[in-house]
Amino acid sequence: MPIVDNAIYRGGVRDAHPVTLDLTFEQLRSHGGFAWIGMYRPTEEELRTVATEFGLHPLAVEDALRGHQRPKMERYGEVLFIVLRSARYLDAPEEVEFGEVHLFIGQNFAITIRHAESPDLGRVRKRLEQSPELLTLGPPAVLYAVFDQVVDEFQPVVLGLENDIDEIEGQIFDGDAKVSKRIYKLASEVMAFQRATHPLVDILRGLDESYEAQSVDLELRRNLRDVLDHSLKAVERADSFRALLQNALTVQSTLVTHVQNEEMRTLSAVSIEQGDQVKKISGWAAILFAPTLIAAIYGMNFRFMPELSWTFGYPFAIGLMLISAIVLYIVFKRRDWL
C-alpha cells in the first residue's frame, strides 16, 4: 500500500487522520498544523499529486520516483530534499541489506518515502507521538527522528560485520578454501556500508549550520549533534572493517603462496629423488650392457671369428666383461650415479 500513514499534527499531537490526500490538503489549509505523509514505493501519480500540492521541485520528485540515489541533501527554496541510505543485518544469510528513504521537509509538511523495508518509520512515528514536546517543533522534529532511526539501525550492522570478520580470521588460519570468496563478498558489503555512512557526516553538519542560522530549537540541534556523533562512530567502524579485510586478504594470499611454495618444494624433492633413482637404474643398466654386448657378440657362433680358436679366448672374453663393468662402475660412482 503506497500511503502507509497520513496524519495532521497540531500542538504536538495527532489532530486528524484523513483517509485521502485530498482531505489532508484541505484540512491543512483550513486548520493549519503540519502534515506527515508516509509513503512506500508510491506510484508516479500519487507522488505528483503531493508534489503539486506542496510545490516540490520536479528534479527532486524525479529522484524520489527513480530511487537508487546517493545520500545527499538539497535545498529547493524553503523545501529540503534529503536522501538517506539505510542498512540492516540479516542473521540467517549473514549479509547486509540496504534500503533507501527520501524526505521532503517544508514549513508545514514532512513527506517520507521508503523504497525498502528499512528504516522502520512506523517506529519513528510512534516514538514522536509519545513525545509531544518534540512534535511541537514540527517537520524538523520528523527529520531528526528519521535520521536517528537510520543511524540507530547501523549498530546491529556494525556488530554483524564485526562477527563476520572474526569468523573470517578463523577460516583463514584453518585453511578454508572458500574464505577468499567470502572476504570479497564482505568487502563489497563494507564498501556499500561506507557509502551509506560517510555522506551523513557532511549532511548533518550542514543541517546543523542551517538550523543554527534559522534559530531552530537548541535542544533539537543538540539531538542532531548526538546523531552526528553516532554517525562518526559508524564511519570509523566501517573504515576499520575495510582495513581489516584488506589485511585479511593479504594474509590469505601470503598463506596460499606459502602452501604453494611448500607443494613446489615437495614436488622438487620428489623429482630429485626420482632423478637419482633413474640415474642408478641407468648406471647399472650401462654396467650390465657391456658384458652383455660382449657375450652376445661371442655367442653368434659364426665359423670365422677372431679368437675362436685361441687358447686364451674364453678367459680374454670374461676378463673384458669384468674390466668394462669395473670401469663403468668407477665412472658412475665418481659422478654420484650409484
Q: Which three cell numbers stand for residue 270?
A: 620428489
Rounded CA separation 56/79 (Å): 7
Taking only the tens place, the pLDDT of each residue in 283-338 is 777 777 777 777 777 666 666 666 666 666 777 777 777 888 787 778 777 777 77
Which residues are 268's β-sheet partners?
none
Nearest partner of 56 among 79, 33, 31, judged by Cα: 79
Q: Is the pLDDT of residue 44 over 80?
A: yes
Coil vs helix vs strand at 16? strand
CA–CA distances in Å: residue 268 to residues 257, 261, 273: 16, 10, 9
CATH 3.30.460.20 domain range(s) in the chain: 1-141
CATH assignment of 271-334?
Answer: 1.20.58.340
The answer to whether the predicted template modeling score (pTM) of the entire model surpasses 0.85 is no
Rounded CA separation 63/149 (Å): 22
Coil vs helix vs strand at 216? coil
Q: Within its chain, how far is the Cα of 215 from the centroid?
A: 42
* Residue 71 neighbours by CB under 8 Å, 6+ apart: 83, 84, 85, 195, 196, 199, 200, 203
CATH 1.20.58.340 domain range(s) in the chain: 271-334
Given a contact cutoff of 8 angstroms between Cβ atoms, the answer to whether 147 and 205 are in contact is no
pLDDT band at 178 (very low <50, low <70, confident <90, very high): confident
Taking only the tens place, the pLDDT of each residue in 238-282 is 999 999 888 888 877 776 676 667 778 777 777 777 777 777 777
Nearest partner of 75 among 203, 247, 220, judged by Cα: 203
* Residue 267 neighbours by CB under 8 Å, 6+ apart: none
pLDDT band at 144 (very low <50, low <70, confident <90, very high): very high
Q: Which CATH architecture has domain 1-141?
A: 2-Layer Sandwich (3.30)
Q: Environment class of residue 35 by beta-carbon count within 10 Å: exposed (0-12), middle (13-18) or buried (19+)?
A: buried
